[in-house]
Every structure is written in C-alpha cells, then in structure tokens.
Amino acid sequence: MRILYQLLVVLFLMLQGAAGQPFIPGDPCQAQNGRCFPGICRRPYYWVGTCQNGFSCCRRYVEA
C-alpha cells in the first residue's frame, strides 16, 4: 500500500510537469523572491501576485 501511495505521488508530479505547472512546495511568493504586504505594493517593490493570505506579493526592483 505504501508503494502505491508513492507511485501516485510520482504520477501526480509527472502530470504537473507535463502540464507546464511547476510544483514548488511552500510559499509561492517566496519562490519568486517576493514578500507579502497588506494592500498595494509601494516603491521600490512591484506586484508579482497574490499571497495565500490575500496580501499582495511584491518583489523589489533590481537595477542592472
């Protein structure tokens, strides 16, 4: 039964990869090097998405 569970997990990860949706465990905002802020993003940050708690996911501008 344990092997069946592990095979299902591997199958799920493979299907996500085939669909083009990377599986990143944890906070998706941190995976994008962002921070969660209430409200809108202010300078020097820009909006990159929404956090799990409904806050704005903001990332700092990087000048080259």
pTM, full prediction:
0.54
Kindly tell me if the per-residue pLDDT of 1 is higher than 90.
Answer: no
Contact 37/19 with Cβ under 8 angstroms? no
Kindly tell me if the per-residue pLDDT of 56 is higher than 90.
Answer: yes
The structural domains of the chain, ordered by start, are 27-63 (3.10.360.10)
CA–chain centroid gap for 10, Å, is 20
Kindly tell me if the per-residue pLDDT of 64 is higher than 70.
Answer: no
